[in-house]
Amino acid sequence: MIAQVIIDIAAKQTDRIFEYHIPDNSDVEIGSRVFAPFGKRKLQGFVVGISETSQYQGKLKDLLEVVDEMPPLTSELVELSENMAQKIFAYRISILQAMLPRVMRANYRKVLTPLTEKAKKMPLFQGDPVDLNKLTDPEEIAIVKELIKTQDAKIEYLVENKAKNKTENSFSLSHNLDTYLEINKKVRANAVNQKKLLNFIVENFDEFPILQAKLEQEIGVSSGVLNSAVKKGWLNKKAVEVYRNPLAGYDAPEQKKNIILNSEQEAAFNQIKTSIESQKAETYLLEGVTGSGKTEVYLHSISAALKKGRNALMLVPEISLTPQMVKQVKARFGESVAVLHSGLSEGELYDEWCRIRRSEVKVVVGARSAVFAPLKNIGVIIIDEEHESSYKQDTNPRYHARDVAIWRSKYNHCPLVLGSATPSLGSRARAQKGVYTLLRLTKRVNNKNLPQVNLIDLKHVEFAGGQFDLSVELTQAIKDRLERKEQVILMLNRRGFANFMLCRECGYVMKCPNCDLSLTMHKDTGKMQCHYCGYSQPIPSRCPNCQSSKIRFLGIGTQKVQEELEELLPGARVLRMDVDTTRRKGSYKRILEAFGNHEADILLGTQMIAKGLDFPNVTLVGVINADTGLWLPDYNASERTFELLTQVAGRAGRAEKKGEVIIQTYNPEHYAIQLAQTQDYERFYGVEMNVRHAGNYPPYFYTVLISIASKNEQNAAREAFRIKRELQSKLHAETIILGPTPSAISRLKNQYYYQILVKYKKEKNLNTLLHHIQDSAQEVKKYGLNVYIDNEPERIM
């Protein structure tokens, strides 16, 4: 038999398939990860096909090794990778790699664990796990294979270094209960900690062995006390492996009893259900105002799929993978849920992924890359907040999760539900044309009104305090809520303290040495930071250019607002949530929990706090500055602004208490802001479609963005013009080719960027032409030139 293999050749990528002979004793399947001889090297690759014959004339080499016991990729994913490579101008190998958890992209080790008593007694094991890679004796290998077949032994994957199975200390007891009572009597009363420990042992004798963390928490003693108890012979300590359960902290809340869908929800759900039951690959756009109960429709749809004996895949944006959302799904579907998101450690991600691959779960919830979950037999796919730009990956492979989901829905014969209060213009237009089926939820649950939204024109307003950030009106509104013991959410979509340093003497602006971006001042760390490449330096006290001390830090960020709030409203408890406060694992969850328990009055944050949060006690939402994204040189700046304001407004007044929203802006007459005030998505859609039509922008035109980057600016420009000439000679006259121009941010990480934007309606030759450009980009890599092709970019600036 012959295997068709895509090889990971890092230096020069290609979609060429290499053929190898499969040795008789090896279990190779489609989707297997293998090592193959390549020239003098041994490289990793993926088997994408198996056949009996080959076109190749010479003698084929043998595959060297199969890496995993079970092929990591399903045949569905292998087929998907082929289709994607055609559409998104990424090489197939980069797509196949992107489908796996990060730790699997590196080498890792296989270990065999004996499961049954019989296996443990075999001399081969001597009670311990065996590393399969280290077995050489053919007889031993045969024994092991037999044990796997009979399930007497289990293959476990141990990822090297990065994500070894986690171990924790476990403490067990060495005496009987009477002895501990004896010891306890002898210990003096002033040895407080020892007393505590012994009392605990006596009371919980049957509970042992107990993990260290739990002991420390329950008794309130340090590890020092436990270790000295080990020395005294009271306790035995042993490291044990623990299964990483990312949902451990998410205790499922009381299940809401039998929520009865309202008539709009019912109507939407019934249509989806029909497609689930008849196994029809239909795409639904569920357009529902914030608080209209979309989540409930998703949960019902998942139930309907499970009832049919099928599985469900649900995507949510990274930032709305809140404990709240995870808890809800978990409460409904319990142990059969797997969660995939970047907040998990690599090991946890890997464990969850393995559970899915081994078909141990029925429901997968995750962010963008979860669209590649190796889940089989999918009965419904859901994408919540479908308008979110984070569903598009903006590095290689540049895929959109929505497009992948559409493909998988066809493959699995199941419906896809796209949900949003503010659908992307493209999706809404497709629903208009009948490509998607539009389902609408126009009312909030229980007929709660949408909150009242007030605009404050920052051009004509009185400010509280000495700064120009918080109007008197907004400050007063916050004060009112605090007095009533209600809570407030404040958004400013900019982190740090001040976003640039300006010298008033010479006009110098402090910029990143690697990027064409100003440095942001972070007061808490005392640094000027580049938000793109991470470069930082101490905050200067004088202008580095002219030594003047007349330097100013301008523009506001969340840190500055926090400082102002604490000055203006002494005693108010403020929690800040932005990239800087949520870097550490679990901090996101902790902040939200603290706010949920009313340990703080104000939750201040970047767009992180705009989506998905459901806090009944929040009656005021304030937007400090609505204009942060309004004038970006990008065709969808208005859409993004409207979306963000509508989403954050939806956080107010979700329960009994009435909600109010205050939006501060310098552009109260802009249509995106005016229509966000009335939260009128349908009108916004109408207006914005006209704007797009007039400017020849999506969804009226398709777009491709070609970026050319080099450390040498002239080389980048020269290659950009060469590509433009190639495009011009082969494309229709009515196709619009813009550029090359320097990108809006012309230099990043010491690379100069030029870009060409192609806007077209129909272009038969474009795909072939772009693949050609992609291949010639491999050739120019050696001159330090990088060419990136982004099909349907989310951003074109």
Residues of this chain that bind Zn ion (CB under 5 A): 503, 505-506, 508, 512, 514-515, 530, 532-533, 535, 543, 545-546, 548
Q: Which of positions 236-275 make contact with ligand ADP (CB under 6 A)?
A: 256, 259-262, 265
Closest CB to Zn ion among residues 364, 503: 503
Q: In 3D, which of 142, 214, 201 has the Cα closest to residue 174?
A: 201
User: 296 is in the binding site of which of ligand ADP, Zn ion, none (Cβ under 5 to 8 A by kind)?
Assistant: ligand ADP
User: 261 is in the binding site of which of ligand ADP, Zn ion, none (Cβ under 5 to 8 A by kind)?
Assistant: ligand ADP
Q: How far, in Å, are 48, 90, 277 from residue 76 at the CA level?
A: 11, 19, 21
d(CA 245, CA 664): 43
Binding-site member from 156, 614, 627, 680 for ligand ADP (CB under 6 A) = 614
Residues 409 and 375 sit within 8 Å (Cβ to Cβ): no
* Interface with ligand ADP: number of residues (CB under 6 A): 16
Q: What are the DSSP E strand ranges found in 91-208?
A: 109-114, 130-131, 153-158, 166-173
Least separation in angstroms between CB 516 and Zn ion: 9
Biggest alpha carbon distance in the chain? 96
User: 672 is in the binding site of which of Zn ion, ligand ADP, none (Cβ under 5 to 8 A by kind)?
Assistant: none
Q: Is 515 annotated as a binding residue?
A: yes
Helices (H), 383-439: 401-412, 425-433
Residues 65 and 35 sit within 8 Å (Cβ to Cβ): yes
Closest CB to ligand ADP among residues 45, 653: 653
d(CA 676, CA 455): 10
Residues 362 and 333 sit within 8 Å (Cβ to Cβ): yes
Q: Is position 79 an interface residue for ligand ADP (rule: CB under 6 A)?
A: no
Q: Which of positions 435-474 make contact with ligand ADP (CB under 6 A)?
A: 445
Partner residues linked to 498 by β-bridges = 521
Q: Which amino acid is at 274?
A: T
- Give the SS3 label for residue 88: helix
Q: Is 543 annotated as a binding residue?
A: yes
Least separation in angstroms between CB 546 and ligand ADP: 53
Q: Is position 62 an interface residue for ligand ADP (rule: CB under 6 A)?
A: no
Q: In 3D, which of 638, 598, 577, 658 has the Cα closest to residue 291?
A: 658
Residue 24: CB atoms within 10 A of its CB come to 7
Least separation in angstroms between CB 421 and ligand ADP: 7
Token couple for 585: 């694992």
Q: Is 414 annotated as a binding residue?
A: no
Q: In 3D, which of 62, 84, 722 has the Cα closest to residue 396?
A: 84
Least separation in angstroms between CB 775 and Zn ion: 31
Closest CB to ligand ADP among residues 394, 682: 682
Residue 685: CB atoms within 10 A of its CB come to 19
User: 505 is in the binding site of which of ligand ADP, Zn ion, none (Cβ under 5 to 8 A by kind)?
Assistant: Zn ion
Least separation in angstroms between CB 612 and ligand ADP: 7
Angle 559-561-564 (CA atoms, 0-180°, nearest 5)? 115
Q: Which of positions 285-344 make contact with ligand ADP (CB under 6 A)?
A: 288, 290-296
Helices (H), 626-680: 637-649, 671-678
Q: Is 354 annotated as a binding residue?
A: no
User: 636 is in the binding site of which of Zn ion, ligand ADP, none (Cβ under 5 to 8 A by kind)?
Assistant: none
User: 291 is in the binding site of which of ligand ADP, Zn ion, none (Cβ under 5 to 8 A by kind)?
Assistant: ligand ADP
Least separation in angstroms between CB 444 and ligand ADP: 8
Closest CB to Zn ion among residues 395, 449: 395
Angle 730-735-738 (CA atoms, 0-180°, nearest 5)? 95
Q: Which amino acid is at 97?
A: Q
Closest CB to ligand ADP among residues 86, 255: 255
Q: Is position 505 an interface residue for ligand ADP (rule: CB under 6 A)?
A: no
Q: In 3D, which of 411, 408, 314 has the Cα closest to residue 363?
A: 314
User: 265 is in the binding site of which of Zn ion, ligand ADP, none (Cβ under 5 to 8 A by kind)?
Assistant: ligand ADP
Q: Is position 617 an interface residue for ligand ADP (rule: CB under 6 A)?
A: no
Q: Which residues are annotated as a binding site for Zn(2+)?
A: 503, 506, 512, 515, 530, 533, 543, 546
Q: Under the rule (CB under 6 A), what is the footprint of ligand ADP?
A: 256, 259-262, 265, 288, 290-296, 445, 614
Q: Which residues are annotated as a binding site?
A: 503, 506, 512, 515, 530, 533, 543, 546
